[in-house]
Structures are given as C-alpha cells and as structure tokens.
Amino acid sequence: EIVLTQSPGTLSLSPGERATLSCRASQSVSSNYLAWYQQKPGQAPRLLIYGASSRATGIPDRFSGSGSGADFTLTITRLEPEDFAVYYCQQYVNGPWTFGQGTKVEIK
C-alpha cells in the first residue's frame, strides 16, 4: 500500500498570497497517477488536478500541480476567498487508492 504524507497540516495565509502544498509518497507513483482534490465543509471533494499536473475541467489556472516519482506539489498562485478549504492528494495507480491526510488552507 502506498502511504501519502501531506505537509504542512495547516497553512495560514492571506488572500492574494501563494500557497504551496506538498504530498510525499512512500514509494514511486507510477505514471504520475497522482490527483489533488479540494473539499469545503459539508461538501463532497472536487477534483482539481490529475496526472500530477493536468487541471480538471473548469479548474482555474491559478491551480497548478507538479512533481514526479514520490514528490508532488500543488500550488495556488494567488489565493481567492473561495480557495480556503482542505486539500487532499490521492494516488490512483491501483487499489488501495490511498489519500493523504489533508492540508487545511485557512485565512490568516
């Protein structure tokens, strides 16, 4: 089973600032089958990034993903008020399709 570790646990930033979120895997994620999701309270997760760096349909270009192998990053270039949420990475190579524990991006 691939274990995903996200850091930091919480990121306190102001609107307009840049957010950098990390996701580290316990082993290489083949074919970069790494996704990022955003979840707001009381809502289902929303797919942001797939294939480590491809934006899902309708996702603004301030969201970008990068990385390969076992180290991945989600960057939000200029935080908008609606971006304050919890972000999860997930590997979807094969079962079990594990998630990281999440990074909360909160308003400073």
Partner 1 sequence: EVQLLESGGDLVQPGASLTLSCEASGFAFSTYDMHWVRQAPGKGLEWVSAIGVDVSRRYYTGSVEGRFTISRDNSKNTLYLQMNTLRADDTAVYFCAGRYCSGGYCYPLDYWGQGTLVTVSS
List the Cα angle 18/59/84 in 5-degree steps.
Answer: 45
Report, in Å, the least distance between residue 45 CB and partner 1. Answer: 6
Report, in Å, the least distance between residue 39 CB and partner 1. Answer: 7
Q: State which residue, 81 or 96, has the beta carbon closest to partner 1.
A: 96
Q: Which residues bind partner 1 (CB under 8 A)?
A: 1, 33, 35, 37, 39, 43-47, 50, 56, 86, 88, 90, 92, 95-102
Q: State which residue, 26 or 101, has the beta carbon closest to partner 1.
A: 101
Q: State which residue, 13 or 33, has the beta carbon closest to partner 1.
A: 33
CA atoms within 13 A on the CB side of 52: 19
Render 24-63 in DSSP notation, one character per residue: EESS--GGG-EEEEEE-TTS--EEEEETTTEEPTT--TTE
